[in-house]
Amino acid sequence: MKKCLENTRTEILQDIINWVNDIRPDARRILWLHGQAGRGKSAIAHTIASWLKDVGGLGSCFCFARDKQAERREEKMLTTISHDLASRYPAFRRALGHILAEDPSLKRTPDLLQQWQKLILEPLSKAVGSIVGNVVVVIDALDESGEVLSRKHILSLLTSKEATKLPSNFRILLTSRALPDIGRALSDAMNVKVVCLDDVPAELSQRDITLFVSKELLSLKDSIGPPEIQQIVHKSNGLFEWARLACEFVDPNNQIGCPLEGHTQGVTSIAFSPDGNRIVSGSEDKTVRIWDAKSGAWIDNPLKGHTGYVTSVAFSPDGNRIVSGSLDNTVRVWDARSGDQIGSPLEGHTQGVTSVAFSPDGNRIVSGSWDNTVRVWDVKSGVQVGSPLKGHTHYVISAAFSPGGNRIVSGSWDKTMRVWDAKSGHQIGRPLEGHTSDVTSVAFSHDGNRIVSGSRDYTVRVWDAKNGDQIGNPLKGHTQDVTSIAFSPDGNRIVSGSKDKTVRVWDAKSGGQIGSPPKGHVHYVTSVAFSPDGNRIVSGSWDNTVRVWDAKSGNQIGSPLVGHSRFVTSVAFSPDGNRIVSSSWDKTVRVWDAKSGDQIGSPLKGHTHFVTSVAFSPDGNRIVSGSEDETVRVWDAKSRDQIGIPLKGHTSDVTSVAFSPDGNWIVSGSKDKTVRIWDATSRVQIGSPLKGHTHFVTSVAFHPDGHRIVSGSKDETVRVWDAKSGDQIGSPMEGHTSDVTSVTFSPDGNRIVSGSKDKTLRVWDANSGVQMGNPLMGHTSDVTSVAFSPDGIRIVSGSREKAVRVWDAKSGVQLGSPLQGYTQDANSVVFSYGTNKIISCSEGKTVEISGDGNGAPTMLHVNGEYTIHW
């Protein structure tokens, strides 16, 4: 544990101790310690944690780290803190035990709000009278949790009304740099005490750094005296980390080569040259530097000119120029060889510039700014091209050209994405708005005229794909986040899955729910889909099961299909409806007889990590699978042999895969925020990745004619892409208020259905992008999967509420009761071909089929995870 040197930082440490011991009822429960990189925030936090441990007041200490961002530690923070509190305080442990006994699914819920309320606040409120003394939780380096979205929910919880009512003896010590999103959330929060290390008097910092350097270099006292020590102290400029690195460099016992030094403050942006031989960096020290990528040596002197932090840098496509943006409100262009500034600064922004990029031909630059605008500049003349692109109502944080250079996409803190005509500067369409929380799942209708989205606002919305208008009112019914959505093949129905454990089917035209939600799942439904003929729905759930439902009656067909040894993540029917393919966290793909429920042959093995998505080719002869091992694999459906080598290119988990209607292409979505298209025969990537999403891509699907692709993302949007050019078509479809988890087209291509963590399904006009009708509501938890019936009349949805629901795609009305019987979430649902059957999967390692009965959904009792009930 990195702690402060004894007798240093005494004043700030005492201030924090006084805050911990402040027993006043109005004392602020959270202390935010911030400062620029290198100030020693972590050392102070660990020193306080050590002191608290000694006096018996340390509840938990959770540390973020930049090199562990891939572990998504923000998802583990609250569960770790709850576990630590239970380990230290018996009263908290008893209270937590009662809560988990009532709802065991909370042990694995990824929902941060649920974790905060059920695993922290509720047991704390019940145990507070039995806990003697102070309880302090230390959260170190929140700024290293990753991107803004990764900590958005954490910040909202820490500044919520509930946080102001924490027990008087409970405290949270939080450290970070003052990044804009963190500062905006915490600076004025009524329950947060703010302490800035940058405001510590210089003489105190110099005193403490002198003590530190003197101790570190004590063994070199014969060659390094007070003058040399003071030189190090002076150059450190109050940064303990700089002083520590300087001591390592000076001390021959620690030195391993020469450290690469240059910037004197935090590096904010880096980029490779097109040939990969050089690196350009921008820094809070207001300079731009160029480095040799192999040796790490500087190439010439720093590029100086900016008077504020440099926030963004990029090479031109030919590598001859560099563009930089800065908080001094300017954009500057540099000669990448000589380092000279080319012309005058590009001036026009009235607040800090946050993002810059060259056009593909290198003739223009686009910039985004805190002044809420996007601007385009002529590289040769330095003149602004046209008027600023206005429309965003909050900071623009990212801007980029389309591969063809004819459009610009921008992202903003106003929760919208906008697409602009790069020549005229006009916005193309309008932002797709409507959802009040994250979008979790999106899908096109098969005719491409509508888009459907699901959201954490519990609703499903339908949008006109051409004009971006919401079609009708939100489809309401789900009582928790919608996680997955899909259109029926004929586009008349939408299916949604939700965290409320149900699958719901909606009438895609009227927005009415068709029947009651099919019930059976006992955990979140995560994925839903229609069979090709629209007669069945399949759903997957966190209860480890896959379930098949009769799309008309809502009855479960048969018993679970058992074989997987870990969570089932995705299911799909073969085109003839006779086989089912499923994927699992057990790293395998399995094929099943859809009638008997028997497994066909041995599992398909090859992936080295969880398999997340599977699909049949249109002719049923091949299977494609995506995995967290970052690869896509193609299999022979008959022999079950892998065809060729894995398709590699994604730089993070593959989350969704699908074949084009003619079977010639494969599309994949990934946590690397990109969509990629592959040649199914040669297995070569076609063109560049489709970029635009600002968070994980969660679901992808082809339009029935194969010319368009729809994708859903954790950025709460649904996007449509031209499959040939890779360009985004129109504006993102916005409306979901949480992650979009599943998207699909209706069979006629005119609508898209999306499911979301906002517990809703939404149906969109695939051409205009407008939401059609109201969100389909009914699920009480995340919707994880959606699908249309083949005739498009119904939609099936799976949810984390452990139920599958069927909806009238025209009216949006739920058909019957939820299909229940699952012990965990329904991850994936689809309709079968030619029958009124739905298949669903869950994390209970089973696939289930239900008979079509006489209309009323029935509850199936599942009495074993590894046996077939037929």
Nearest Cα to Cα of residue 711 among 724, 738, 692: 692
- What span, in angstroms and rounded, lies between the C-alpha atoms of 238 and 206? 6
Residue 321 makes CB contacts below 8 A (sequence gap 6+) with: 315, 333, 334, 335, 336, 342, 358, 362, 379
Taking the chain, what is the end-to-end CA distance rounded to the nearest angstrom? 57
Q: Is residue 175 part of a domain?
A: yes
Q: Is 50 exceeded by the pLDDT of residue 547? A: yes
pLDDT (0 to 100) of residue 261: 45
Top pLDDT among 237 and 382 is at 382
Across 425-487, the runs of DSSP E, i.e. the strands, are 439-444, 450-455, 460-465, 478-480, 482-487
Handedness of CA 681, 683, 684, 686 (dihedral sign): positive
577, 599 Cβ separation under 8 angstroms: no
DSSP code, position 326: E
Q: Is residue 686 part of a domain?
A: yes
CB burial readout 741-763, b (16+ within 10 A) else e = bbbbbbbbbbbbbbbbbbbbbbb
| pLDDT confidence tier of residue 448, bands split at 50, 70 and 90 | low
Hey, which residues does 289 pair with through a beta bridge? 281
- What span, in angstroms and rounded, lies between the C-alpha atoms of 30 and 859? 47
**Structurally, how many domains does the chain consist of?**
4
Residue-wise pLDDT tens digits, 490-529: 788 888 878 888 888 888 888 888 887 766 777 777 556 6
Q: Within this chain, do residues 800 and 729 fall inside the same structural domain, yes or no?
A: yes
Q: Within this chain, do residues 306 and 236 fall inside the same structural domain, yes or no?
A: no
Q: Within this chain, do residues 534 and 571 fall inside the same structural domain, yes or no?
A: yes
Residue 183 parent element (H or E): helix 180-186
pLDDT (0 to 100) of residue 58: 93
Lookup result for tokens 């305080």: 89
Is 0.75 surpassed by the pTM of this model?
no
Residue type, 303: L
- What span, in angstroms and rounded, lies between the C-alpha atoms of 487 and 751? 7
Q: Within this chain, do residues 393 and 443 fall inside the same structural domain, yes or no?
A: no
Q: What is the DSSP string of 552-586?
A: TT--BEEEEEE--SS-EEEEEE-TTSSEEEEEETT
- What span, in angstroms and rounded, lies between the C-alpha atoms of 698 and 741? 6
Q: What is the mean pLDDT of residues 377-381?
A: 92
| pLDDT confidence tier of residue 215, bands split at 50, 70 and 90 | confident
What order of strands is seen across the sheet that includes strand 330-335?
A: 310-315, 321-326, 330-335, 346-347
CB burial readout 389-398, b (16+ within 10 A) else e = bebbeebbbb
- What span, in angstroms and rounded, lies between the C-alpha atoms of 55 and 273? 54
| pLDDT confidence tier of residue 852, bands split at 50, 70 and 90 | very low
Q: Within this chain, do residues 354 and 226 fall inside the same structural domain, yes or no?
A: no
Query: What's the Cα-to-Cα distance from 289 to each of 302, 338, 536, rounded to whole Å?
Result: 5, 12, 60
437, 714 Cβ separation under 8 angstroms: no
Q: Is residue 1 part of a domain?
A: no
Q: Within this chain, do residues 236 and 281 fall inside the same structural domain, yes or no?
A: no
Q: Within this chain, do residues 246 and 128 fall inside the same structural domain, yes or no?
A: no
Q: What is the mean pLDDT of the chain?
A: 80
Residue-wise pLDDT tens digits, 100-138: 998 888 888 878 888 999 999 999 999 888 888 889 999
Lookup result for tokens 């750094």: 209
Phi-psi region of 774 (alpha: psi -120 to 50; beta: other; left: phi over 0): beta
Hey, how many other C-beta atoms are within 10 angstroms of the C-beta on 425?
17
Q: Is residue 32 part of a domain?
A: yes
Q: Is residue 258 part of a domain?
A: no
Q: Is residue 255 part of a domain?
A: no
Query: What's the Cα-to-Cα distance from 850 to each of 243, 256, 334, 526, 554, rounded to whole Å?
Result: 68, 66, 67, 19, 9
Looking only at Cα atoms, what is the longest distance across the chain? 94
Q: Tell me which long-range contacts 99-102 makes (C-beta under 8 A, separation of at least 24).
A: 99/123
What residues make up the domain containing 212? 202-250
Backbone angles phi, psi at 853, to 5 degrees: 45, -150
Q: Is residue 3 part of a domain?
A: no
pLDDT (0 to 100) of residue 312: 83
Residue 632 makes CB contacts below 8 A (sequence gap 6+) with: 624, 625, 626, 646, 647, 650, 654, 657, 666, 668, 678
**pLDDT exceeding 70 applies to what percent of the chain?**
79
Hey, which residues does 461 pair with through a beta bridge? 453
From 387, 421, 455, the end of a domain falls on 421
DSSP code, position 66: G
Q: Is 50 exceeded by the pLDDT of residue 203? A: yes
pLDDT (0 to 100) of residue 847: 38
pLDDT (0 to 100) of residue 851: 38
Q: Within this chain, do residues 587 and 658 fall inside the same structural domain, yes or no?
A: yes
Number of residues that make up the chain: 870
Residue-wise pLDDT tens digits, 292-345: 655 556 777 889 999 988 878 888 988 889 999 998 999 999 999 888 999 999
Q: Is residue 870 part of a domain?
A: no
Q: Within this chain, do residues 689 and 678 fall inside the same structural domain, yes or no?
A: yes
| pLDDT confidence tier of residue 860, bands split at 50, 70 and 90 | very low
- The CATH number given to whatever domain includes residue 292 is 2.130.10.10
Residue 752 makes CB contacts below 8 A (sequence gap 6+) with: 442, 443, 444, 445, 450, 451, 452, 453, 462, 463, 465, 487, 710, 718, 720, 733, 743, 744, 745, 746, 763, 764, 766
Residue 226 makes CB contacts below 8 A (sequence gap 6+) with: none
Q: What is the mean pLDDT of residues 544-565?
A: 65
Handedness of CA 152, 154, 158, 161 (dihedral sign): positive
Query: What's the Cα-to-Cα distance from 633 to each of 602, 636, 648, rounded to whole Å?
Result: 17, 10, 9
Top pLDDT among 151 and 643 is at 643
Q: What is the mean pLDDT of residues 160-172?
A: 89
- What span, in angstroms and rounded, lies between the C-alpha atoms of 566 and 571? 14
Residue-wise pLDDT tens digits, 739-775: 999 999 998 999 999 999 999 999 999 999 999 988 9
Q: Within this chain, do residues 334 and 414 fall inside the same structural domain, yes or no?
A: yes
Which tokens hold the place of 815?
């058909």
Nearest Cα to Cα of residue 297 among 342, 330, 262: 262
- The CATH number given to whatever domain includes residue 28 is 3.40.50.300
Q: Within this chain, do residues 681 and 635 fall inside the same structural domain, yes or no?
A: yes
Q: Within this chain, do residues 413 and 447 fall inside the same structural domain, yes or no?
A: no
806, 530 Cβ separation under 8 angstroms: no
Residue 68 makes CB contacts below 8 A (sequence gap 6+) with: none
Which tokens hold the place of 420?
């602009």
Which is it for strands 778-780 and 478-480: parallel, antiparallel or unpaired? parallel
